[in-house]
Amino acid sequence: MNGMALQPVVLWSDALLFVLIAAIVALVFWARRQDALRAAWGRVLKDTMAMAAATVLAVFVLIGLLDSLHYRARLPAQPGAEARYAVEVLSALDALLSDLRQRSEKTYSAPLATHLFAREALENSTQREFPRLKHGGAHLGADLAGHEFDIAVRVSRGCAGGLVIWLLLVSAWCRWRGVAVVEMLKVGVGGPAIRAVLLTLLPILLLFGIAIAVGGGYHVFGTDKVGQDVLYLSLKSIRTGLLIGTLTTLVMLPLAVLLGILAGYVGGWVDDLIQYLYTTLSSIPGVLLIAAAVLMMQVVIDTHPDWFATAAERADARLLALCLILGMTSWTGVARLLRGETLKLRELEFVQAAQAFGVGRFAIMHRHILPNLMHIVLIALVMDFSGLVLAEAVLSYVGVGVDPSTISFGTMINTARMELAREPMVWWSLAAAFSFMFALVLAANLFADAVRDAFDPRASA
């Protein structure tokens, strides 16, 4: 019986991520028909720093989307037998990085090394030596005299490849706009923002070219304790950070907007109740509250193994539970902010005029209050993204974050922390996780600053 070579697998986090992206696309088309929103986003698109940061974020999002296209590979079967599929769930990113994923070593190896990091007793020898790696530098054979030269050649090839791709992109853009490449770089045809995007793509493509060229023969960021390539682990961690930063908003946003507007507009006992609720939640240490909720959810997952067909579904359930818990504990700040702004809006003339004409409370909140709060909601969400990414790293570091089988920046840091005390120190896993997380958070913060300046009336005044 014939079957597909690949069996698509849609995890709950994948489905929610694509729903969120579809919602963002729909909001973009809706915002284009709103004059105020179109003008504000126009200011963001003209900001060179914002466009450079958006370019970096787009690269991270692309990697995360590739890692969200999951499948199960078909196992070899006898002719006429029913198709069977592997238990392991892989992604499109795993397929692209299959060389890095499969080229594992015995244990630690330093970046670009040809030998293991620790001495071992070799066969037919009484001395402890550094064994050769199975894959890193294996193409050099026994002669390691050309190690540095080989790395230099590969770096040069990677830079050349990245530069060629960048020039092709620039040429395609200039041909579409009908201008020369030199004129575009000097004058900035299309605005300084377009030039910022193209100039930001240059170092990104150079780094990608170097990673591909050097990674074909070496471990660019070394290997971890079990011999996995650290560059592969760093790229796989991007999806987890993006999911924590985005899916948490699906939980936090409706609750914060609803309760914040109700507290500010209705007032009375409703305001007192909502204030008591978020004051109580804010008074509990966040890490303790999240740890207790995660441990309770883990008990539910452990006692119902029949709910999950694969280990990936089990890990995905804990990831979604973490997003739910973070959303339930992080809405208080946004709700308090929206309550204070609503208290001011309800005293304005157009709201009081609507009340005088007998418009209902919920109609006023929907038609008059909510549209005038959207800039605050947008600013808060964009600025909270980086905080949520860092929160996942901290929670996974203390052992109450994502499932241990889920690759994330926090689990990488947690795995590497015990090796910082050894001599010589194993530093590359921590450095790689920190570098990728720093780039993601920095790009998000720079883009958030531009959004705040464009949407905040006080900043633009």
Per residue of the chain (461 residues), give pLDDT as tens. Answer: 455 677 888 888 888 888 888 888 888 888 788 777 788 888 888 888 889 999 999 999 999 999 999 888 877 766 666 777 777 888 899 889 888 888 888 888 889 888 888 777 666 666 777 788 888 888 887 777 788 888 999 999 999 999 999 989 888 887 877 776 666 666 555 567 788 888 899 999 999 999 999 988 888 998 888 888 999 999 999 999 888 888 887 788 888 888 988 988 888 888 889 888 888 888 877 777 888 888 888 788 878 888 777 778 888 888 888 888 888 888 888 888 888 888 888 888 888 888 888 888 888 888 888 878 877 887 777 777 878 888 887 887 777 778 888 888 888 888 887 777 777 788 888 899 889 988 998 898 888 888 878 876 555 44
The CATH classification of domain 237-460, taken from the options 2.60.40.1930, 1.10.3720.10, 1.10.4030.10, 3.20.20.70: 1.10.3720.10
Q: Do the Cβ atoms of 397 and 417 come closer than 8 Å?
A: yes
The contacts of residue 77 (CB under 8 Å, 6+ apart) are 83, 84
Separation between Cα atoms, residue 66 and residue 300, nearest integer Å: 30
Strand 120-121 to strand 70-73: parallel, antiparallel, or no bridges (unpaired)? Answer: unpaired
Tokens at residue 324, please? 């739910």
Closest CA to 236 of 390, 401, 433, 419: 433
Measured at the alpha carbon of residue 82, what is the angle toward residues 76 and 85, in degrees to the nearest 5?
Answer: 50
Report the length, in residues, of the chain: 461
E strand intervals along 22-63: none
For the chain, which residues make up each domain, given as ranges? 6-98, 105-215, 237-460
User: C-alpha angle with apex 336: 335 to 342, nearest 5 degrees?
Assistant: 85
